[in-house]
Amino acid sequence: MADRDTSLLCHELLLRLAGRIPDESLWRYRDWLAGDAGDVMAVSLPKQLVRERIGLTDGDHRLLSEALLPMGADPAAVGAILPEEGTPRRRHTFTAAAPGDDKGDSTALVLGATLRGRPDVGEVRDSWRRDTTASSSEPEQRVILVNTGGNPVELAGEIQRILRALGNHTPMVEALPTNIDPPEYHERALTASNLICTGSGELVGSD
């Protein structure tokens, strides 16, 4: 079980890995972290980065070491992670336009009912992401972006559970703490996003 500071470091690390590791892995790591099973993530994530040859910047590698080594990550696996070479390729594009007819959007309705007016929530937005390396027939994926001054680990876990109950088995939920600058991936998603609702917490960004 991770303490709060370590959990927040892990959450920041997963934010920085969004769009770089498979979505299926990312949501599971967040679910484990929210469910006090961060030690499972600490063992699995470095091995996945090595196996899939996903490189990290020096700063991201330091963050990973600070977050995962105290939770039981294998130092040999952490040391074997490749350095990132050059500028990472942008695999994804974002648009605010929902595919098809979005009338009766149950996801937006449920998220609005759950998060509107919450004191730990700022803006709740969504963006539609396309993978430029995938087939043109591959559907766009919805990314939920939430500003929070509360616990982003718990909030991400809560929203993921809601989305899975609504039938989204690989939910993409980016809970963005107000005290850190969003990574470039999230900045692009926020630029091409729609407002779903607002809580009563500190807001970051506007329409």
In percent, how much of the chain has pLDDT > 70? 92
Half-sphere CA count of 148, side-chain side, radius 13 A: 23
- Of 60-74, 76-90, 136-150, 188-202, the least confident: 76-90
pLDDT at 204 over 50: no
pLDDT at position 114 over 90: yes
What pLDDT, on a 0 to 100 scale, did the predictor assign at position 3? Answer: 75
Reported pTM:
0.91
**Domain spans, the chain:** 4-80, 92-198
Read off the pLDDT of each residue in 15-30 and give the average, rounded to a whole number: 96
- At residue 206, the pLDDT reads 39
Mean pLDDT of the chain: 91
CA-closest candidate to residue 13, choices 89, 81, 96, 85: 81
Collapsing DSSP to helix, strand or coil, 200 comes out as coil
**For residue 202, what pLDDT is reported?**
53
Distance from first CA to last CA of the chain, Å, rounded?
A: 39
